[in-house]
Each structure stands twice: as C-alpha cells, then as structure tokens.
Amino acid sequence: MTTTVFVSGATGFIAQHIIKQLLEKNYHVIGSVRSTEKGDSVGKLFNSPNFSYEIVEAIDNPHAFDSALEKHPEVDVFLHTASPATFESDNLEKNVLKPAIDGTKNVLSAIHAHGKNIKKVVVTSSITALVNLRKPITSTVNEQSWNDITWEQALSNGLSAYAGSKTYAEKAAWEFVELNKPTFTLTTVNPVYVFGPQAYDSSAKGTLNVTNMIVISNLRLKEGDQVPDTVGSFVDVRDVARAHIAAFEKDAANKRLLVTTDTFNSQKILNVINKRFPQLNLLKGDPENTKVPNFLDNSESQKIIGSKTIDFETSIYDTVKQYLDNNK
C-alpha cells in the first residue's frame, strides 16, 4: 500500500525539494498552495501523476486545513513546511509571528480532528528556535537547546521576528501534543542557514529565497568593496529535504533534528566562487579569513539522518552555477 504524504507550503524552497525526493521514492504527495495558479505551476514542475494539490489560501485562518484533510482520509504523514520566510514587514506581529504560530496550531488541530490515519507529523522549525542570535554564543547548542527570545524582542526587527516566529511556533506544536495527547507523533527539523540550488531551474530566475541571496549577493562584489560580515552554519537544501523524509521513515518520534554540515562566513563563500568562477573577477578579500567557531552538536540527530552530507563547496557551486545559467 502506497504511503500518502501531505506537504504544506508546496511552492517553498525546501518544500519543492522534499516533494521532488518523495516522488522519486514513489510516495503519493498532496501539497497545499495558496491559489490554483500556484498549484498548476508547481504541478507542471513535478510532472507526476502521484502529485496533486489543495488550496489553502491563508494558513492562519481558523480551520484552514480542515477541508483539505476531510477530502483526503488516505493521508498517512503530514509535513508542515509552510511559514512566513520574510524579514520585512510593517507589522511584524500580524505578518510574521502570528501566521507562523496560528498556522502551526491550525495544522495540528485539523490533523487531530480530521486526519484519522495520520500517524506522523513533521514540522519545519529552525536553528533560530534553538539559540538566541541576539546574544554571543558561548556554550554548546544541541537538540535540547531553546531560544529564550521574548515576545517584545521578537517585535524589535525583522530578523528577530523570524526567530521569534520559529521559536513560538515550535513551542506551540510541542504544547499541543502535550495537552491533547493525539494519536500522531511529532518531530521537528531545525536547519541552520540553508543553501543549495532550487529544485527546478525555472525557480532560479531573479530574486531567490532569503538564504540563497546571501550567496548570490556576493556576485556583485568588486575590488574595493567590503566583504559582508555574515557568519554562521550551513546545510544544503537537499540534505534538509532528506532529513524531513528520515524524520518519518525512521524512529524519530518526539525528537528535534538539528540539521547542519559546517560553519561558514562570507569570505568562505567568496573563496568558492572565485575558485570555481574565476572569470567573474570578483572581490578577493582576505582568503585566509575563514575560521568560524562551531558551537553546534547534532550528534543525536545524526543517529536518525546520518552524517554524510553535501559539502560546502558543492553546495555553493551548484547554487551559483544554476543562478548564472538561468539569469543571462
């Protein structure tokens, strides 16, 4: 019997990779999208009889997912990837925090009420739910860590709002499970900065998702410019997608999966681009300035998702190559 997986936010960067991998593994997939136009568009990309879509116009509307799940009692697994991924808004509470939190609650409530055959739920969270990036990191961060950001801090700027949205949405998910004792299990996937190519070339035109624009912005740097001060840990999107699938294929009930590969800074990105695309004649900066301390320990997660991941150079090369090929 074929397993059917529901993926919310099917047009997203990570979601498209998840769905692509699921279809390659012969799962049946139902994706939620905000409009028929978006559904038809991603349907053409996936080009599979095993993919269909349901329209959920706004995930934070009460009972947003009820109808979709009522129509699909065959769903066995639910992957909730839909969430605002913007740092810019004139109303951070309304447009970033609330949709993430209420969307997660709506998904879990709908599954609890109407997803009678759903046994496993996976929620896309973030490293920002594990650590408060407003403070210097001085100790090891692992799957048990939590961001201590306050609601007031989350409203202070776009990046803090995103971190707050991920933190409070994930907490809402665990609280739901604790209070309602549903028949499904919960797993969260907490990736760091996610780089890597789009699942399909047609999605690589123009402005990309927020994290990949960190990579692409380096293509504009010339001698005399300052190297950006971006620093952190990275993982390739294809490994993040694989982690979501491992989260329900393996025994990961009630676990948080911290998904990370290596540390990086902007100089390290520049070094790869200059090495692999010397014809671009970009800023060289200080090629030796690539040391970044690693405070993350995901050894527990590796027991579920494995330790073999796509390396930094491959991820950056694939991202830049795809972008250059599709933006001539």
State the pTM of this model.
0.96
Task: Read off the tokens for 182.
Answer: 């549903």
Strands 51-55 and 255-259: unpaired
Q: Using 50, 70 and 90 to split pLDDT, how confident is the model at 57?
A: very high
Domain ranges of the chain: 4-195+235-259, 201-230+264-325
Q: What is the pLDDT of residue 91?
A: 93
Instruction: Give the rounded percent of residues in the chain with a pLDDT score beyond 70.
Output: 99
Q: Among 72-86, 164-178, 263-277, which stretch is predicted with the lowest mean pLDDT? A: 72-86
Neighbours of 117 (CB within 10 A): 14
Q: At what angle do helices 36-46 and 13-24 cross, to 10 degrees?
A: 50
Q: What is the pLDDT of residue 65?
A: 96
State the average pLDDT for the chain: 95
Mean pLDDT of 234-245: 98
Q: Which CATH number fits domain 4-195+235-259: 3.90.550.10, 3.40.50.720, 3.40.50.300, 3.20.20.370?
A: 3.40.50.720
Element (H, E) at 230: none
Angle at 235 between CA 231 and CA 238, to 5 degrees: 150
Of 96, 67, 77, the C-alpha closest to 7 is: 77
Mean pLDDT of 258-278: 98
> Cα separation of 298 and 310, whole Å?
16
Instruction: Examine the pLDDT at 71 and tell me if it is beyond 90.
Output: yes
Per residue in 195-204, pLDDT (tens digit) is: 999 999 999 9
> Cα separation of 206 and 43, whole Å?
21
Q: Using 50, 70 and 90 to split pLDDT, how confident is the model at 138?
A: confident
Q: What is the pLDDT of residue 267?
A: 98
